[in-house]
């Protein structure tokens, strides 16, 4: 089945550590996105990529980094510079940047311990 796979579902990070969230899609979509959601809040855009080997900062990129070396993969690294990383992270994709329908992965919960 086609879709977006995020892993891990749950992740615990110690302070000062970098962690990487995986996002893989087999939909052959050009555009991919990372959103952060805090309890009771909407989705805020961290980074997005409209084509392989290119990505742009979203509204809250500080403390995060991404890469887009392959069309199907868009991993997100939460660095130690992100002071409040505990949140629900959602990866999404669209066929192309102008497309209407955005598909979401199941999300990853990150908790700082």
Partner 1 sequence: GQNIDQPTEMTATEGAIVQINCTYQTSGFNGLFWYQQHAGEAPTFLSYNVLDGLEEKGRFSSFLSRSKGYSYLLLKELQMKDSASYLCAVRDEAGGSYIPTFGRGTSLIVHP
What letters, b where the CB count within 10 A reaches 16 and e where it falls short, cover 36-60? beeeeeebebbbbbbeeeebeebee
DSSP state for residue 3 in the 8-state scheme? -
Interface with partner 1 in residues 41-100 (CB under 8 A): 41-45, 48, 50, 56, 58, 88, 90, 97-100
Give min distance, CB of 41 to partner 1, in A: 6
Question: Which of 40, 49, 76, 83 is in the footprint of partner 1 by CB under 8 A?
Answer: 40
Mark the segment that binds partner 1 (CB under 8 A) among 12-20, 37-45, 63-71, 77-85.
37-45
How far is Cα 76 from Cα 97, in angstroms, rounded to an integer? 19
3-state DSSP call for residue 72?
coil
| Binding positions for partner 1, rule: CB under 8 A | 33, 35, 40-45, 48, 50, 56, 58, 88, 90, 97-102, 104-107, 109
């Amino acid at each position: 089945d086609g879709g977006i796979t995020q892993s891990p579902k749950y992740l615990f990070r110690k302070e000062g550590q970098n962690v990487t969230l995986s996002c893989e899609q087999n939909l052959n979509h050009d555009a991919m996105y990372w959103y952060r959601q805090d309890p009771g809040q909407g989705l805020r855009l961290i980074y997005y990529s409209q084509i392989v080997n290119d990505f742009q900062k979203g509204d809250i990129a500080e403390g995060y980094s991404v890469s887009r070396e392959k069309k199907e993969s868009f991993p997100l690294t939460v660095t130690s510079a992100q002071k409040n990383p505990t949140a629900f992270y959602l990866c999404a994709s669209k066929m192309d940047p102008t497309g209407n329908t955005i598909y979401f992965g199941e999300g990853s919960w990150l908790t700082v311990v």
